[in-house]
Structures are given as C-alpha cells and as structure tokens.
Amino acid sequence: MVAGPFRRAALGAVVASVLLPASAGADELGDLKQALETAKQQMKEMEAVHRRQIEALEGRVRAVERRSNAAANAATTQPPAQASKDQHGSYSIGGLDLDLGVTADLAAGGSSVPNSILSQLQAADHDPNKNGFRLKSLEWIASGTVDPYFDAQATLALQIDAEGETKLELEEAFATTRGLPYGLQAKAGMYFTEFGRANTQHSHEWAFVDQSFVATRLLGPDGLRSPGARLSWLTPLPFFSEITVGVQNSDGETVFGFLSEENEELLIPAGGGEEEEEEEGGDKRQIRNLGDLLYSARWLNGFDLSDTVSMNIGVSGAIGPNDTDANADTFLLGSDIYIKWQPVSNERGFPFVSLQAEGILREFEFRGEDGDEDLEDYGFYTQALWGFKPGWVAGLRFGYADANDQDLFNGPFRDERMRLSPNITWYPSENSLIRLQYNRDWFDFDEDAGGDEDTADTIWVQFVWSLGAHAAHGF
C-alpha cells in the first residue's frame, strides 16, 4: 500500500532519462535537470502528504478493526482466556488486567534412611520429605495492575503433607506502588521478607528439588514471611543499588526465630526445663508496641562486569523479639552474591554458568531461669548451575551449618550438618521441567539422640508444570 509513490517516482525517473538524451543543448539540459529536481522535490512532498494520509487512515482502520474485533469477541462464545496469551504469560481475561497461573510441583524419591530421619533432614515446608511420592505444592498465582497506582499479586499454595492431609496456605498477597517519585517503591501485605536471595523464591523457582537446609534452619521451614510493609529506594548511584527497609509482624507460623511457636519445637526443644515455667505463667510474649515488630533491611547492588558477566551482591539484616523474655531479641545477618555468565549470542538463554552463595548468621538471645545464653546459629550454601545445552542444566550445591551451645540445645536444627547435592534438569519448555537430584547428608542429630545414622543417601525426581501466566524472569 506504500508502494504507490515509489512506482510513480521510478516511472518519473525512467521517463526523464528517456527524454534527456533527445534534447541537445547544454542550457536546455541544465534547465531540464532543474525541472527534474523540482519535480522530484514536489513528488517527495506529495508523497509525504500521502504518507501522512495513509498513516492516518491506517490508524483509523486499526481502530475500526479493534472495535469490530472486540464486538466479534463479545458476540461469540469464545472462552475469554483465549483472547491473548503467550509462552511466558499474559492471559488477558475479557480485557481485564489479570494474569492467572497454576504451578504443580511433584517429587518422588527414596533414601537410605527411614522417613523419621528423612523428614528431619528435609524439614522445609515444600521439601520432598518421605520415601515415595509427594505433591510439594500446587501454587495459584493471580497478579496484575490494580490501577495506575498499584500492582498486586496473590499466591495460594495447596500441598499434601507427610501425613497425607491437604493443606492450604496463603503464601503471599501484596501490592506494590507504581508511581512513587525519586526511585521509591512501597509494598504492603503478606510477603516474603527481602532477606538474601533464596528467601523470596517460591518452591518451584529453586534450582534444586529442595530448599537449602541452611535457609530452612536459619530463616524457617516456610521461609521468613509475615504481614507488613516495606519501602525500597533505587539510589541515584551510577550502578544498580537498592536499599529496602521493612517492618513486619514478628508473630505467627512463618517468622521462625522470632515470636514463632515453632522455636520451642525446633530451636530450643524441651530439656532446658525453662519453658515449663513459661507455660505455667501462661502468657506468651505478644506484640505490644513498635519495638516488638520485626524490622529488616537489605542493600542490593548489581553490576555488569562485562557484556557477558553480571553480578548481584547484597547484605541483609533483621531484628525482632523472641519470647524467652520480655526484652529478648533475635538478630539475623546475611550476605549473598550471584554471578552469571551468558554469551551475548545465546540460543534460548543457553549456555550459561551461574554461581550463587549465601551466608546467614542468627543470634538468638535466650533468657532462661538458669541464666542467659546467646544462641548462635550459622551456615552457608554455595551453588553452581551450568546450562550446557538448550534446555539442559547441571547443578551442584554444597551447604554447611553449625551452632554454638549444642550441649544446651541440640537436634536437627542445631547439629553440625553438611549436604552435597548434584542434580540435572531438563526443561522441555519454559513451562515444564524434570529434575533428578542426589543428596548426600552428613549429620549428628540421630547419634546425639541415641540412634546410629550419621549419613544419608537420597535420590529425588521432580516434575514441575505450569499453566497460564508466570512472572517475567528477574536476574
């Protein structure tokens, strides 16, 4: 449709070139040349006018098409989810700004140790934790833009726990601002605390079948998450540098190490004799004032080291109360680094190599009848992933954790532990994966409790599929 003007221009040039040799004189030639230039100029101007007209008409045609398409869609009984979708994701349902996704995460495996020990080695809420099959999670995600001011996301997870019971939990439900000035962004709701790298990831995003036990021990079996609000600031430094400060409730199931009831079961198990005292007293510590909330901060920096190597480096901290005493606090300190290499010319994101390491220290101020102890737990994991051909990733992860005062409190959350996990993953597409992983565990808690196991060998197979939308990939 834009070819018309060209054809005319070409025709003009041809006609002129035929006419030119026929007319002889030099003056005449000059005149003709000038006339030709003028004609060309006029033609161009006309063409510009035509182009503008064509563009205006095209715009109107598109508008009409859109209207008639919308009318046609409204008229037919087509399922609305077919309106628009893509590999990664946007289902626009009836023109609504709502992305929906369902992700199933299934694992199966067998171990050299019985379920009683295996469930303590694999203590995270979404870990595979018994011989045989387990539906680790079935996650329902709804997300979208609320209005010009907010984006929102809600995640529900169903799972079948080790006892075979179906369990429903609210993982996250939060809104973030879209339009704050000066690089600020606020978030409010129930969300994973932005502490380190692993904590904010949902189970199906892990590059391994299970959560690193270091994160499980130090940030809790279900991650550190709670209702609250946070403000984050993208600083004007010439590189990516983001500071996040947040405040969240310090009580509930998912604030392990703070006012969580799981502390007594896992971190300071009975034996110290102190909590009987507390139970007689009957009143647990509650949030009474601003000082009893959980405060967290993170500083994350990102650099491109070259065209092919990028890196993130972060430090995180958190402080909140624990319920051994009215003034007892728990501190968390963490640092993390992530480096990724990917050639510029890559095929579907392959090949790549990524290295990730994270270290976490927790200090738990234990205030008991028999005296005060500062319980220190610490650990680190490091993992490498190698996407060696399109769709194929080999991984290796090593984790180590230990704690002080093990004579006072011991068990699977405090003994000296190590785990080595090689795995291999095949992604048939962006929306499914099949993974094979071997775990070698070294642990003390069974022998400490009078048993005779101190190592475990476990093979896991994992299958993840996802329907509908899934969020665009962050770095």
CB 193 within 8 A of CB 226: yes
Query: Hey, what are 194's tokens?
Result: 């932005």
Work out the widest C-alpha separation in the chain, in whole angstroms.
120
Nearest approach, Cβ of residue 392 and other proteins (Å): 11
**Minimum CB distance to other proteins, residue 422 (Å):** 24
Is 199 within 8 Å of 219 (Cβ atoms)? yes
Judged by beta carbon, residue 85 or residue 367, the one nearer other proteins is 85
Name the residue nearer to other proteins (CB basis): 240 or 388.
240
Minimum CB distance to other proteins smaller for 269 or for 302: 302
Nearest to 329 by CA among 369, 364, 295, 293: 364
- How far is 352 from 308, CA to CA, in rounded Å? 9
Q: Is 77 exposed, middle or buried (0-12, 13-18, 19+ CB in 10 A)?
A: exposed
- Closest distance of CB 69 from other proteins, Å: 8
Tell me the closest approach of the beta carbon of residue 136 to other proteins, in angstroms: 23
Binding site for other proteins (CB under 8 A): 2, 5-6, 9-10, 44, 47-48, 51, 55, 58, 62, 69, 78-79, 82-90, 148, 151, 176-181, 183-185, 234-240, 242, 301-304, 307, 310, 312, 340, 342, 344-349, 390-391, 429-431, 471-475
Instruction: Give least dist CB 433 to other proteins, A.
Output: 15
Q: How far is the CB of 348 from other proteins (least distance, A)?
A: 5
As measured in angstroms, the least distance from the Cβ of 210 to other proteins is 25
Q: Alpha-carbon distance 242 to 475, whole Å?
A: 14
In the complex with other proteins, which residue's Cβ is closer, 26 or 237? 237
Report the residue number, 68 or 116, with the smaller CB distance to other proteins. Answer: 68
Q: Which residues pair with 395 in a beta bridge?
A: 385, 423
Residue 163 or residue 239: which is nearer to other proteins going by CB?
239
N-term to C-term CA, the chain:
43
**Packed helices 3-22 and 26-75: angle between N→C axes, nearest 10 degrees:** 170
| CA 157 – CA 167 distance, rounded (Å) | 8
Does residue 204 contact residue 173 with C-beta atoms inside 8 Å?
A: no
Beta carbon nearer to other proteins, 131 or 342: 342
Least gap, CB of 95 to other proteins (angstroms)? 13
Tell me if 225 sits within 8 A of 194, measured CB to CB. no
Choice between 23 and 78, CB closer to other proteins: 78
Report, in Å, the least distance between residue 302 CB and other proteins: 2
Angle at 300 between CA 294 and CA 303, to 5 degrees: 175
User: Within 10 Å of residue 39's Cβ, how many Cβ atoms?
Assistant: 14
CB nearer to other proteins: pick between 45 and 374: 45
Kindly state the helix (H) or strand (E) to which residue 281 belongs, with its residue range.
helix 274-281
